[in-house]
């Protein structure tokens, strides 16, 4: 098909006046509906936790015991290693970074913001999660791109970077069904991250388990437990793990969690005590009554999978049909998570996103999956298939594929 | 009564094996019960905000419109000037301080942590709220005690301090029925705080309105609106206001709010955007459905007053009866709030608190109402009468009064 034919096809679609949003990883209404019982669970007759705390009142900084017991298996940690937060794991990550900036990561450590080098740097596997990068950008933390190597974060490069540069204080890791690539860290990647030598004593892995139970197939990925690996490697304090029910129950009113060594959690809780008296225990109680135990979460996720899988299939099918024959772009069919990562020809991503937008399909901004919003090759586009219906996705992907072709043709 | 008689009286009481806690400003179960409908409000049939946002899902950084409309009158601000937070106003204050430390208070301002002087200082009216002081202590902010003068924060001294010292970046103010003194800032105090010249361009008043609708009488105190006064004085960005429903509905699961000029809120929201996608909108919705409008809050607070007033009366009555005749200490019967501030003879507070504890009555630690936990005169004790029953309070105050007498006698 030549460029004029593509253009006329594009203009025809544009004239249809679509209005579709594939920009964010939002659960659709059908997914949320499976948690609607949370909206009507009455706590009127019993608002006490198992240890007889009145959950309406003050107290309990780090979460009620039954919430810890419910959520600890998500991260594979003990109830002594978990802290229950508010409704946002992003907030817990942000707090972990600001705490380290202002007070350091332990009683002995200096605040990152007072590092002798005058700089604080984070390693950012790319493409990655834009909100991780925003935390760094907002706080003036320098970000270093880390490419993938054979589908895994380039661990040789990581080892080299952290061994040489003491101002590298952290690394963002979305380790299971990563945002946006869908990859899961291999045993080797996990072990080497746990064991590597870091010049900075106060280096931390920010281990975001946002999609750890969010499978799209029945063969679930296995990932080594990073906290166990860090302990075995003699670096028990190296990692902060994060998770939430944002994409299990309600994104706006779920429960966030973090986990770390007992040394880390003791220090974190001391500082959390300056900042709050405790998170919403009634919402913790609602979640416990809703799920009962970890098996309840696993069963719930199977229901969600049945809704989400066909959406991913629809996107992949369109890509296979429309773009593969023309060798336009690369993608990976993920086994879980919330995204499909699309790599077009160099220099086409921004144009593709703009063409889509002008035809009524909003995608995540090109570049958003890179620090500072800058994709050096202008290739990567994050596709978020969860929110629209399958019908809408087909329409949106028609626009997308034509836009990719057009953007590629104009380069040629 | 001589010392041996006092001692025998004390030992007699001690033998009763009381176990009472007057250490924190916790609402009692009878108060919480008035909000129990919040525990059973079902959102099943309508979980949308007035602007058709699905409150289960992501979005809305600063609160749903009807929550803004409900809570803005508490602080006397417009809905453009309010930000709805999570369940903790302490968290909003902490965030405001850390944000200023790491990023400054505006686009133009330097981070406080990079102040040329190498120091950041806050003015702390004393006695004051221990958790305010903990925020500063946790972040290494130097605290400067500010005494009262004729029942008001010594405003001459404040003006002098902020005019001379550019490293003074903030001042904690509990402005209505203050914790623990029960005082309300006078028109003159408010106006001079709004209008005073500060050496630091980036100075902020942290205006905690924790008890602004928490009256104990029918003649409500009036306080000038600090935001209006700041605007009139040409310092619209000087103040951050804070409040919450922690002592209106549920301490553990209420809604926190803050307010400031539109310039400030725009800047704050930009940085909040790095830290969270938004607070729990379902809990905002529950509160809106529960109260309907500000009149609902006012009516609710009258119910709470009827429970709390007799508790304050019981404490004051015991003090008047047991200690006034002996001229032992000073106190003030507050018209609202959560505390009674007791000033004993110099050097007696720590001893009194210890004697009470040994007899089974837990008070807030002596010194807690001062920065660094150090009451220079060892006089002040914060009495928190809200949680125990009237009967328990009478028993506790018997212990307290004997302990005060004993502590005073031992000095003599």
Express each pLDDT in A131-140 by its tens digit.
999 999 999 9
* Residues 137-156 of chain A whose Cβ lies under 8 A from any Cβ of chain B: 137-140
Name the percent of chain A lying above pLDDT 70: 99
Q: Does the pLDDT at position B51 exceed 90?
A: yes
Cα–Cα separations (whole angstroms), residue A42 to A37, A282, A308, A352: 10, 10, 29, 49
Per-residue model confidence (pLDDT) at position A411: 61
Per the listing, tokens 């746990």 go with: A194
**Chain A residues inside the 8 Å CB shell of B54:** 29, 32
With CA atoms as reference, the chain B residue closest to A270 would be: B138
- Tens digit of each residue's pLDDT (9 = 90 or more) over A36-52: 999 999 999 999 999 99
What is the DSSP code string of B192-206?
HHHH---S-TT-EEE
Q: Do A40 and B43 touch (CB under 8 A)?
A: yes
The tokens for B109 are 């301002």
Which 8-state DSSP code applies to residue B248? T
Q: Do A253 and B55 touch (CB under 8 A)?
A: yes
| Closest among B137, B21, B23 to B374, alpha carbons compared | B137
Residues B242-267 have a mean pLDDT of: 98
Give the whole-angstrom CA distance, residue B279 versus residue A145. Answer: 31
Give the whole-angstrom CA distance, residue B383 versus residue B322. Answer: 16
Q: Do A39 and B40 touch (CB under 8 A)?
A: no
**Chain A residues inside the 8 Å CB shell of B102:** 98, 101-102, 113, 139-140
Burial A346-373 (b: 16+ CB within 10 A, else e): eebbbbbbebbeebbbbbbbbbbbbbee
- Tens digit of each residue's pLDDT (9 = 90 or more) over B131-180: 999 999 999 999 999 999 998 999 999 999 999 999 999 999 999 999 99
Residue A258, beta-bridge partner list: A83, A242
Domains of chain A (ranges; CATH) run 3-25+298-411 (3.90.1150.10), 65-294 (3.40.640.10)
- Tens digit of each residue's pLDDT (9 = 90 or more) over A343-381: 999 999 999 999 999 999 999 999 999 999 999 999 999
**What's the CA dihedral at A159, A161, A167, A170 to 10 degrees?**
-50
What's the maximum distance between 2 C-alpha atoms anywhere in chain A? 72
**Chain A residues inside the 8 Å CB shell of B139:** 102-103, 274
Q: Does the pLDDT at position B23 exceed 60?
A: yes
Per-residue model confidence (pLDDT) at position A100: 98
| A117 Cα to chain B: minimum distance (Å) | 15
Burial A283-301 (b: 16+ CB within 10 A, else e): bbbbbbebbeeeeebeebb
What does pLDDT average to over chain A? 96
Q: Does the pLDDT at position B286 exceed 90?
A: yes
B3 vs B408, more confident = B408
What is the DSSP code string of A138-178?
HTT-EEEEE-EETTEE-HHHHHHHHHH-TTEEEEEEE-SS-
CB A349 within 8 A of CB A375: yes
With CA atoms as reference, the chain B residue closest to A107 would be: B138
Per the listing, tokens 């040994």 go with: B358
Q: Does the pLDDT at position A412 exceed 60?
A: no
Burial B68-83 (b: 16+ CB within 10 A, else e): bbbbbbbbbbebebbb
Q: Looking at beta carbons, which pairs linking A294-300 to residues 24 or more positions away fall under 8 Å? A: A294/A70, A294/A73, A294/A74, A297/A70, A297/A74, A297/A213, A297/A248, A298/A213, A300/A34, A300/A35, A300/A248
Task: Quote the distance between the C-alpha of residue B252 and its chain's center.
Answer: 15
Q: Do A56 and B40 touch (CB under 8 A)?
A: no
Q: Do B135 and A274 touch (CB under 8 A)?
A: yes
CB B116 within 8 A of CB B106: no
The tokens for A365 are 């901004």
The tokens for B127 are 């006695």
Q: Does the pLDDT at position B412 exceed 60?
A: no
Q: Do A94 and B276 touch (CB under 8 A)?
A: yes
CB A163 within 8 A of CB A199: yes
| Closest among A391, A70, A18, A411 to A213, alpha carbons compared | A70
With CA atoms as reference, the chain B residue closest to A135 would be: B274
Distance from first CA to last CA of chain B, Å, rounded?
Answer: 13
| Closest among A22, A79, A56, A87 to A249, alpha carbons compared | A87
- What sign does the CA torsion over B137, B138, B139, B140 have? positive
Which 8-state DSSP code applies to residue B257? E
| A254 Cα to chain B: minimum distance (Å) | 8
Per-residue model confidence (pLDDT) at position A220: 85
| B137 Cα to chain A: minimum distance (Å) | 9
| Closest among A394, A370, A376 to A315, alpha carbons compared | A394
Residue B282 touches chain A, beta carbons under 8 Å: yes
Per-residue model confidence (pLDDT) at position B411: 61
Q: Do A251 and B57 touch (CB under 8 A)?
A: yes
- Tens digit of each residue's pLDDT (9 = 90 or more) over A103-158: 999 999 999 999 999 999 999 999 999 999 999 999 999 999 999 999 899 999 99
Q: Do A280 and B252 touch (CB under 8 A)?
A: yes
With CA atoms as reference, the chain A residue closest to B267 would be: A138
Q: Does the pLDDT at position B410 exceed 80?
A: no
Helix (H) or strand (E) holding A401: helix A390-411
Residues B173-194 have a mean pLDDT of: 97
Q: Does the pLDDT at position A1 exceed 90?
A: no
**Chain A residues inside the 8 Å CB shell of B58:** 24, 26, 246, 251-252
Looking at chain B, the number of H-run helices and the number of E-run strands are 13, 13
CB B225 within 8 A of CB B209: no
* Residues 99-128 of chain A whose Cβ lies under 8 A from any Cβ of chain B: 101-103, 113
Is residue B168 classed as helix, strand or coil in its secondary structure?
strand
Per the listing, tokens 């709010």 go with: B257
Cα–Cα separations (whole angstroms), residue B270 to B262, B273, B274: 12, 5, 7
The tokens for A262 are 């007992």
Q: Does the pLDDT at position B94 exceed 60?
A: yes
Looking at chain A, the number of H-run helices and the number of E-run strands are 13, 13
Confidence of residue A219 (pLDDT cuts 50, 70, 90): confident
Residues A163-187 have a mean pLDDT of: 97
- Tens digit of each residue's pLDDT (9 = 90 or more) over B65-74: 999 999 999 9
Q: Does the pLDDT at position A182 exceed 70?
A: yes
Q: Does the pLDDT at position B1 exceed 80?
A: no
């Amino acid at each position: 098909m030549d460029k004029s034919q593509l253009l006329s096809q594009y203009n025809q679609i544009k004239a249809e006046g679509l209005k579709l949003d594939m920009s964010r990883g939002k659960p659709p209404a059908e997914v949320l509906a499976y948690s609607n019982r949370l909206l009507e669970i009455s706590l009127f007759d019993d608002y006490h936790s198992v240890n007889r705390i009145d959950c309406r009142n003050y107290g309990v900084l780090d979460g009620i015991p039954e919430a810890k017991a419910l959520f600890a298996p998500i991260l594979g940690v003990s109830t002594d290693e978990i802290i229950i937060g508010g409704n946002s794991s992003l907030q817990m990550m942000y707090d972990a970074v600001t705490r380290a900036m202002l007070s350091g990561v332990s009683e002995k450590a200096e605040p990152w913001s007072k590092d002798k080098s005058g700089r604080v740097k984070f390693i950012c596997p790319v493409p990655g999660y834009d909100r991780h990068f925003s935390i760094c950008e907002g706080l003036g933390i320098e970000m270093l791109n880390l490419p993938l190597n054979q589908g895994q974060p380039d661990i040789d490069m990581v080892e080299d970077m952290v061994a040489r540069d003491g101002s590298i204080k952290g690394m963002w890791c979305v380790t299971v069904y990563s945002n946006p690539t869908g990859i899961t860290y291999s045993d080797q990647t996990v072990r080497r991250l746990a064991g590597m030598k870091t010049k900075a004593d106060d280096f931390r892995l920010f281990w975001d388990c946002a999609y750890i139970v969010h499978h799209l197939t029945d063969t679930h990925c296995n990932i080594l437990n990073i906290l166990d690996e860090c302990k075995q490697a003699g670096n028990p304090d190296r990692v902060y793990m994060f998770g939430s029910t944002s994409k299990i129950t309600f994104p706006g009113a779920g429960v966030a969690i973090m986990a770390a060594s007992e040394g880390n959690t003791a220090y974190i809780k001391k500082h959390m005590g300056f900042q709050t008296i405790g998170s919403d225990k009634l919402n913790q109680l609602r979640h416990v009554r809703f799920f009962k135990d970890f098996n309840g979460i696993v069963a719930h996720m199977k229901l969600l999978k049945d809704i989400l899988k066909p959406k991913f299939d629809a996107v992949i099918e369109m890509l296979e049909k429309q773009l593969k024959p023309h060798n336009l772009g690369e993608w990976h069919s993920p086994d879980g998570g919330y995204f499909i990562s699309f790599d077009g020809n160099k220099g086409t991503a921004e144009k593709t996103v703009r063409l889509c937008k002008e035809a009524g399909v909003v995608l995540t901004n090109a570049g958003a999956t890179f620090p500072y919003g800058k994709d050096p090759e202008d290739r990567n586009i994050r596709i978020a298939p969860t929110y629209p219906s399958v019908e809408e996705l087909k329409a949106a992907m028609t626009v997308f594929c034509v836009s990719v072709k057009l953007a590629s043709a104009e380069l040629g």
